[in-house]
Chains A and B, each alone.
Chain A
């Protein structure tokens, strides 16, 4: 068995509460140095809140009501606002879905990258600018000296995302959190950005936590995957294991609902009936029970723990001995 190095980042029992409901409910995962962890799930599953909590950036309505986030030996949740500000951008950074909405329209992109560096390093402006120029070249922006002096509106969406990545990485953080970084981009540009992220992981040993709903992106970049449903982790596994042998009905149905090469054209795709419960509909049992073809009384009454399935694979289901039935439903 592969020996996993000590995790760099670990999320332990994270719980986030909005108006009394646990919209993120005790989730745990860890990321080793230089590895990519993907958080996947449908809208409202809590994947974005999980990431914001990791950076201490929860919106005012949300509150972390439990759990810890450790980066190496430091507990980020124990830091003061001031210390968190020193950590954010330096040790852990984030990029968002819509790069043009995250950049300052009135400042040149070069100055924005340099500002990120000078926030954490007491260096002369010229040195920060030189670093920003090198960073632009590193993220594959052609003609960095000219681009340095341009404003976000002069750059395309793909270029702006490269600028965001430059800002996030200028201080060489050890963890990069990427919240749907390619969703707003065209596929050819998406491929470029994913390749850039892979290159950065390989060259700098940065760990990445990527949020996405696109199983294709997961298949491309992730080492490990956590599938989230209604604020909980339904299943967590190394990427290949997850795609080959999903051990949760939700994952299996989700994968079956994606059209595949082997499907007959226009054949019925597997669907998941019903909808994700809202936080005030959360019951005592498994939150997927109402939509699950395997659900029994036990599922509705009692929340399944994340059972260890071996090889780093865990899933929260009482009935994986009946997974064959899911494959029938999906076929």
Chain B
């Protein structure tokens, strides 16, 4: 099938000049990619599926025993794991909702011409390009109860954002919003600038108010791109590890990925953590699938 739809090389292209055939190109570019994927992604995926049915521990030399579904049964009845999932869900909802609101809002503000628009846009995109570890460390300093600028600005005295079990998770979510709202902004900007200007003019002629125009014209036309941003951000937020791990040690910020990390590399419960990883994978797939279905329906409309 792949060969059937493959196009002939443009006779003037460099590859053709070197005497490479279509087949050579395929071999040079595609085969290494496939080999890489198999070795580093697909093989571990299947291998860990096998481990998830055993009591294997990477830290001991004891013989591995097959335990069937025991790991899954243990995990799904473990209340601590469920509390990790609840924390994760809270985190995903707060952080993704915040990113969508802030990102789309910024895009609406930027979607007009003003002086230094390019510079402002670039500056707003910077957080997204930073390393999560660096962002985490800096925000820990910003939140610092003794000399952090946030408490100073808001006059909160020595309020400890990250040590207070009630606020720690939200503090981490705010950091995540700061870092990833630009991503939503970027996609929204692409969507907004693709709305034809004459539609706004037509709406003005039809005497539509600005809110009516926004909900009836802007939003429907931008929604597919917003949906894509939502899919990406939900998937990523679900897997968040770095920021939360660096910023807080509170049990209320123990996301499912942190729990997984502890189980695998602190308790060396390898078999069980493989099972947990599979549960998380299935959940992320399920959520993504729901979104994609919705996206396709939105595109059909």
**A-B complex is real:** no
Task: List the interface of chain A (C-beta within 8 A of B).
Answer: none
